[in-house]
Amino acid sequence: MSILDQFLLTDRVAIVTGASSGLGVAFARALSDTGAAVVLGARRTDRLAEVAASITQSGGRAISVPVDVTDPESCAALAGAALAEYGRIDVLVNNAGVGTAVPASRETPDQFRAVVDVNLHGSYWMAQACGRHMEPGSSIVNIASVLAITTAGLPQAAYSASKAGLMGLTRDLANQWTGRKGIRVNAIAPGYFPTEMTSQYTEEYLDSMRSRMLIPRMGRLEECAATLVWLASPASSYVTGQTIVVDGGVSIT
CA terminus-to-terminus distance, the chain: 39
Of 108, 134, 124, 211, nearest in space to 170 by CA: 124
Q: Which of 86, 124, 159, 192 is flagged as catalytic? A: 159
159 is catalytic: yes
Under 8 Å CB-to-CB from 169, ≥6 apart: which residues? Answer: 120, 123, 124, 127, 142
Phi, psi of 246 (to 5 degrees): -125, 85
Rounded-to-integer distance, Cα 52 and Cα 40, Å: 7
Of 163, 149, 173, nearest in space to 253 by CA: 149
For 1-40, b/e burial (b = at least 16 CB within 10 A) is: eeeeeebbbeebbbbbbbbbbbbbbbbbbbbbbbbbbbbb
Rounded-to-integer distance, Cα 152 and Cα 250, Å: 9
How many residues comprise the chain?
Answer: 253
| Sign of the dihedral defined by the CA atoms of residues 56, 125, 225, 211, in that order | positive
Rounded-to-integer distance, Cα 31 and Cα 20, Å: 15
| Residues involved in catalysis | 159
